Structures are given as structure tokens and as C-alpha cells.
């Protein structure tokens, strides 16, 4: 019998699931549990992954939100059976170092880092890949650095590429680029270090958003794949995250034909 630690969002759906599970299962202390069961939506899952990252335990999400791309379906199939048959998916987050005027902040992102204009003025950004300049100046509404797990989210909505989970790639995707006007972005190896500098901090302030955590008045951002942090997510075998991403790739390619 598996030892579960349960955590639920505060929505009505999640509360109903909580009552059902806690009637039938023991809620073990987190340090003694083998698996973390998360009842909520994608945003709640992202927060929970980061909150409990240090425990190095697998997560099984059950959708009580809207879309639930990172979650499993909320159904009545035996939970122990689902866990025992589940497929493991490993996600490597981005490590992000943000420099403001006089301070530094470290964040992680599982889906993406988004840089947005903070005022009516467009952003003016310099983008470096390792020590080489990728773009001397990007003018537009912003820029997204997406992991494979996040490539079907905001990145896809601004016409970024869908990345396979095992691709070892990151997507650099512009948001409404004005100059270079026809620049569509770039897919790079995940081993690269990406540095983005705000070229006009006073007139063109920018905000950085790591999944759902925002930092404003950003001067410089350095992004790289984490080398010491990896999340294990469990999925129903026929509906795992990698299969969902492949299906999104198929839909995107089909629309092009």
C-alpha cells in the first residue's frame, strides 16, 4: 500500500476531492510519505512542485481546475492502482538569476520565463547566448524562454515551437516583435546560458515572470537549465505529459497542411 501526502487547492472541486480521499486514505506526514498527491489546477501544481522540491518525492496531480495540462483526470479509478501503473515523467526547471538596480533575486521556472514591457513603451533587449550576441536589440512587447514542458502554453500562443520533452532544447520566442520585424525566435540547446539585458532601464522598464512569480524593474536576467533539480511527475500511462505534447505537435503540423 502506498503512503500518500495529500495537498489540495481551495476550490470547490478540490474540496470535494479532499473529502473523498481523506475518508479512504491516511494522510501521512510529508517526510514519511512516498508520493505527493496534488488536487488542483496547473497553477496550483506549479506552486506545489516548487514548494516541496527539496523533498525529492514524485507528484501525482489530479485535475480540479480548468485545463489541467500537467494533471491527471479526476475520475473514480482506484488511486493505488493508478499510481502503481503510472508512467514517470522527469522535468528539469530553469534556474533564473534576476538583477534589479541594487538587488538580486533567484527563481526557478518549470514552464517558462516571460519578459514583458512594464509601461506603454516597447521593450529594448539585448540577448546573448553564452558569450555570443544573439540579438543586439529586440524591440517589441517582450520575450519568452520556454522549457519543453511549457512549450505548449504561452509559448505556443505566440507562435513558438512545440518541443518534445526529451529534446534537450529551449525555445526563445518574441512577443509581438517590432524589430527585427520578421524574427520568429530561436530553438537552442538546453545546455546554453541565456543572458538578457534591458537596454533602457529608465524609459523602457520590464517585468520578469517565472511561471507565476513576477519581478518588476528588471535590469538583467541570466537563465540556464538546472543541474541539480529535477521533478518527477506520475501520469496515467496512456495520457502522460509526453503524449499530450506529441498530440499538440500533431495538431499544429496538421493545421499547417
7 - beta bridge partners?
38
- Cα torsion at 85, 152, 76, 19 (round to 10°)? 110
- Give the C-alpha distances (Å, rounded to integers) separating 233 from 75, 76, 88, 216: 18, 20, 6, 31
Contact call for residues 68 and 97 (beta carbons, < 8 A): no
137-160 exposure pattern, b = at least 16 Cβ within 10 A, e = fewer: ebbbebbbbbbbbbbbbbbbebeb
* CA distance linking residue 88 with residue 232, whole number of Å: 6
Cell numbers representing residue 34 in the block: 512516498
CA distance 60 to 215: 29
| Angle 249-251-255 from CA coordinates, rounded to 5° | 120
Active site residues: 42
3-class DSSP state of 112: strand
Q: Which grid coordinates are listed for 157?
A: 500562443
Which helix (H) or strand (E) is 197 found in, with range?
A: strand 194-198
Amino acid at each position: 500500500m502506498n503512503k500518500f501526502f495529500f495537498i489540495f487547492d481551495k476550490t470547490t472541486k478540490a474540496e470535494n476531492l479532499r473529502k473523498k480521499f481523506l475518508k479512504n486514505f491516511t494522510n501521512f506526514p510529508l517526510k514519511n510519505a512516498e508520493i505527493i498527491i496534488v488536487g488542483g489546477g496547473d497553477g496550483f501544481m506549479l506552486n506545489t512542485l516548487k514548494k516541496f522540491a527539496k523533498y525529492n518525492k514524485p507528484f501525482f496531480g489530479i485535475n480540479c481546475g480548468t485545463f489541467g495540462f500537467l494533471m491527471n483526470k479526476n475520475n473514480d479509478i482506484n488511486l493505488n492502482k493508478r499510481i502503481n501503473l503510472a508512467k514517470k515523467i522527469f522535468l528539469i526547471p530553469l534556474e533564473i538569476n534576476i538583477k534589479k538596480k541594487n538587488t538580486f533575486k533567484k527563481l526557478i521556472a518549470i514552464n517558462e520565463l516571460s519578459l514583458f514591457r512594464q509601461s506603454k513603451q516597447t521593450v529594448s533587449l539585448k540577448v546573448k547566448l553564452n558569450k555570443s550576441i544573439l540579438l543586439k536589440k529586440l524591440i517589441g512587447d517582450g520575450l519568452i524562454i520556454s522549457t519543453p514542458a511549457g512549450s505548449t502554453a504561452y509559448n505556443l500562443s505566440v507562435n513558438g515551437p512545440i518541443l518534445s520533452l526529451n529534446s534537450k532544447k529551449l525555445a526563445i520566442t518574441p512577443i509581438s516583435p517590432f524589430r527585427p520585424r520578421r524574427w520568429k525566435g530561436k530553438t537552442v540547446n538546453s545546455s546554453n546560458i541565456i543572458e538578457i539585458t534591458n537596454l533602457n532601464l529608465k524609459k523602457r522598464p520590464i517585468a520578469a515572470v517565472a511561471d507565476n512569480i513576477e519581478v518588476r524593474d528588471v535590469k538583467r536576467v541570466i537563465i540556464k537549465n538546472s543541474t541539480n533539480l529535477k521533478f518527477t511527475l506520475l501520469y496515467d500511462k496512456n495520457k502522460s505529459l509526453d503524449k499530450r505534447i506529441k498530440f499538440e505537435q500533431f495538431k499544429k503540423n496538421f493545421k499547417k497542411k
